[in-house]
Amino acid sequence: MSIKENLHHIKSSLPPGVTLIAVTKTHPPEKLMEVYNAGHRIFGENKVQEMCDKYEVLPKDIQWHLIGHLQSNKVKYIAPFVSLIHSADSLKLLQEIDKQALKNSRVIDCLLQIYIADEETKFGLSFEEAEELLSSEAFQQLRNIRITGLMGMATNTDDQEKIRSEFRSLRSFFDRLKPSHPSLRHISMGMSSDYLLAIEEGSTMVRVGSSIFGNRNYSAGAPKA
């Protein structure tokens, strides 16, 4: 199927209230334009440099979501235009986002990335760390960020029940936090291999790349950044 058909196929499988982030990392601007021309406007990148390069050359009504790990010293490059940062995982990073947002006279929406997988390699806060962060005085002083939800990545496994229980744990944490944190609206969970499962477990934002664009090629001339 073409990129456009893949996009329509996935969109038609999403219930109302679930937002699709088209994950465009490693793909060139021409491919992004196929999705853009099909009417899609929400794109996710996981590297700052690559997102900035694409922002420069693509239409300005695209909403750019940063979904990959973010280093504090790179926040300044995306602060003028980023629409949502999915990967906020420390107070220090949030303080820097707040500072750069203020410089740009904006409020930047962020999700707290929560560690739900059973793997060493995934970034994120534990439930306890997230609660501590949200209740800390230092966090409450930040005026130019808004925490609008949580993000999580399941373990990379074929075990569907394991993935389901990790998603479920994020959902119940969200439900527990929500009464005291009314700004929480989104749960970003689910990728190509597990987005339908994530939706069953309460996801409101799915981040889908390869099911739209095909497999990524990291070696042959793809932008690395």
Ligand X SMILES: *Cc1c(COP(=O)(O)O)cnc(C)c1O
- Name the site residues for ligand X (rule: CB under 6 A): 23, 25, 46, 67-68, 191-193, 207-211
**Closer residue to ligand X in complex, CB, 7/23:** 23
Least distance from C-beta 194 to ligand X, angstroms? 9
To 5 degrees, how large is the angle CA 97–CA 23–CA 161?
Answer: 100
Which residues have C-beta within 8 Å of that of residue 30, sequence separation ≥ 6?
Answer: none
Least distance (Å) from ligand X to the CB of residue 204? 15
Q: Which of 138, 145, 34, 149 is nearest to 82 (CA)?
A: 145
Toward ligand X, which CB reaches closer, 68 or 130? 68
The closest residue (CB) to ligand X is 209
Q: How far is the CB of 144 from ligand X (least distance, A)?
A: 24
Give the C-alpha distances (Å, rounded to integers) separating 193 from 160, 184, 189, 196, 211.
10, 26, 11, 8, 8
Nearest residue (CB) to ligand X, 49 versus 144: 49
Query: Which CB sits closer to ligand X, 142 or 195?
Result: 195
The residue with tokens 């853009």 is: 36
